[in-house]
A = this chain, B = another copy of it.
């Protein structure tokens, strides 16, 4: 294992110390692992909290700031945070208007956030939960853990964050977040496995001419293994998966994210975006906004995900609203 770390057990806290040193407009509680906007709680504003395992940076801590999250609760590497942590974040951002929990659909995240929400309610804080489950590589079913939350989380956080910033009420903020989730689909392909500091070696072996298709963001193998294909063919696989799960229609307007999983160079992500743009153009779908870069990562995994979110005027207005966080910033 080759990493810039001191000791596997200290990675998350030492990285948080770096976040604290880098971002004066964030309040970082290193030992309790909470990242909060310095101006929180904003009285009368719905608070937004997200969290999950670490190793997906900039998600979530990099999205804390004006117009997006009020707090993030990063767990250990690939391990969802504990209820106490989430509760502390929730209380830190409650400005009296309630708090929205944005939760990626993994058993651990769901259970820990659920426990935290119950504890928050005991303390008189109203909590609405938005569950994100956009990864169409996994089939949906009430009998299973269902789909995973991946790239759409960023869009939910941005759009719900903008709704909260403009003073929308708890149910409305949660509502637009859920609408984003329903309108979104993601699909990921990995070229290498990632290595967690604790495990010290890659999660799986992948021959030099193969790829994992329909991979998650926690180093788990994908739905299937295939011979490595060209960028064009890989984008086609992702597009087909999205089309069969959540079909796009001609004239749909979409926000597209071509996201790197951590070790894929930006030049490849732009090349992939070019392929996505070509495929969507053929389908008559209009890309109205996009992001190309590393946003929802999986440590040092070489890989990419494509997220597509159907957007109406309201969603675009909220997407375009000002945001000022370490990893996403635009507007005034």
Contact = CB atoms under 8 A, between A and B. Distances in A.
Given A211-B2, A265-B57, A265-B299, A270 B231 contact: no
Contacts of A83: none
Contacts of A302: 2, 263, 300
A40 B270 CA distance: 23
- How many protomers of this protein does the assembly include? 2
Nearest to A2: B191
B267 A11 contact: yes
B292 A22 contact: yes
A304 interface: yes
B297 A14 contact: no
Q: How large is the interface on A (under 10, 10 to 19, 20 to 34, 35 or more residues)?
A: 35 or more
A110 interface: no
A15 B292 CA distance: 11
A15 B262 contact: no
Interface in A1-45: 1-7, 11-12, 14-22
Given A2-B302, A266-B294, A15 B332 contact: no
Interface string A53-64: 011011000100
Interface of A: 1-7, 11-12, 14-22, 54-55, 57-58, 62, 191-192, 208, 211, 228, 230-232, 234, 262-275, 277, 287, 290, 292, 294, 297, 299-300, 302, 304, 329-330, 332
A282 B230 CA distance: 50
A274 B329 contact: no
Contacts of A275: 14, 18
Given A5-B231, A211-B2, A272-B4, A262 B262 contact: no
A265 B2 contact: no
Nearest to A210: B2
Nearest to A235: B4
A271 B4 contact: yes
Contacts of A57: 265-267, 270
